[in-house]
Amino acid sequence: MQMTLWAISENEAAARAVCAAFAAQLNPTIEELADIKCAVSEAITNCIVHAYGGRGGEIYITVTLYCDRSIRIDIRDKGCGIADVALAMQPLFTTDRSGERSGMGFPVMQTFMDALSVRSRVGVGTKLVMRKKLSA
């Protein structure tokens, strides 16, 4: 499944709902579905707030389901990029100077998914790949 959304706050809920609805084909538990929704929400919020600075831009989402009951969610933007991915993934790190952001987006994604990889280039954008194996 592929979709492209404009990076505005109203679309965060849409992305979460569509990814969860697509994942429902694997008959996940309620907890697994909640984990997926939370991770997607954090990833989309990062695109809106950090990649595009609230100015809008496109967010590209690809969701792939596998026969072994696993799911892969790729979320990509063409925003500002991340200069130091390892630093950005540390709990409580944020580039938000207003103090409204907790710096827990990546740690939350890591908690709810089995794997998270982040690739980014300054001025080019960022790609997240999240994976989760659902229970039998």
Tell me the average pLDDT across 99-127. 86
Which pLDDT tens digit goes with each residue over 28-44? 999 999 999 999 999 99
**Three-class SS string for 51-108?**
HCCCCCCEEEEEEEECCCCEEEEEEEECCCCCCCHHHHCCCCCCCCCCCCCCCCHHHH
Which pLDDT tens digit goes with each residue over 44-80? 999 998 899 889 899 999 999 999 999 999 999 999 9
Could you give the 3-state DSSP secondary structure of residue 134?
Answer: coil
Q: Looking at the annotation, which residues are catalytic?
A: 42, 46, 101
Domains and CATH numbers, the chain: 2-133 (3.30.565.10)
81 vs 107: which has the higher pLDDT: 81
How many of the other CB atoms lie within 10 Å of CB of 92? 9
Give the C-alpha separation, 113 to 38, whole Å: 10
Helix spans in 10-52 (H): 10-23, 30-46
Of 21-25, 46-50, 119-123, the range with the lowest mean pLDDT is 46-50
